[in-house]
Amino acid sequence: MSYKGHFKPRNPQKYKGDPTNIVYRSSWELKFMGYLDAHQDVQQWSSEELIIPYRSPIDNKIHRYFPDFQIKKRNRDGVIETMVVEIKPAKETKPPIVQKKQTRQYLREVYTWGINNAKWQAAREFCRDRNWKFTIMTEHELGIK
């Protein structure tokens, strides 16, 4: 299976944006798109359509973060809620373990963690201001081993 491609929804009316141009960048995103498209409680969804500004800790400039998904769904109480979802491997959701020897890989992990953490903090604040929920889903929540 390809890790990148175009998703073709069975329920294009639920997609906010162009339903003929839904791009997935991982098999995990593809799986989640299938869930969003099929689940009856999902009223509307989009993929990388929302823009959240964040300040990069690397260059201290404002950049744009495009979270993986924005979802409007009916919760257990029947109330429509909005969620912003990022899909990442669990290992990328924690800061890297400090290494005595600063290898290129370790420095890359520190760099990636710094940027991701800044994005997620901006997303939490953005969602809190709108009474939305922000969550990071990993292989654990997606049921992937």
DSSP states of 47-98? ES---EEEE-TTT--EEEE--SEEEEEE-TTS-EEEEEEEE--GGGGSPPPP
Q: Does 101 have pLDDT greater than 80?
A: yes
Q: In sequence order, which residues have a C-beta less than 8 Å from that of residue 101 and are 6 or more positions away?
A: none
Residue with tokens 């709108």: 130
Q: In this predicted structure, what is the pLDDT of residue 17?
A: 95
Question: pTM for the full model?
Answer: 0.93
Q: Would you give the DSSP letter of residue 7? A: E
| DSSP H or E segment with residue 46 | strand 42-47
In this prediction, residue 145 carries a pLDDT of 75
- pLDDT confidence of 99, banded at 50, 70, 90? confident
Mean pLDDT value across residues 91-109: 91
pLDDT of residue 2: 54
Average pLDDT over the chain, rounded to an integer = 95
Over 70: is that where the pLDDT of 133 sits? yes
Per-residue confidence (pLDDT) for residue 1, from 0 to 100 = 46
pLDDT per residue as tens digits for the range 18-61: 999 999 999 999 999 999 999 999 999 999 999 999 999 999 99
C-alpha 80: how far from its chain's center? Answer: 20
Say if CB 43 and CB 73 are below 8 A apart: yes
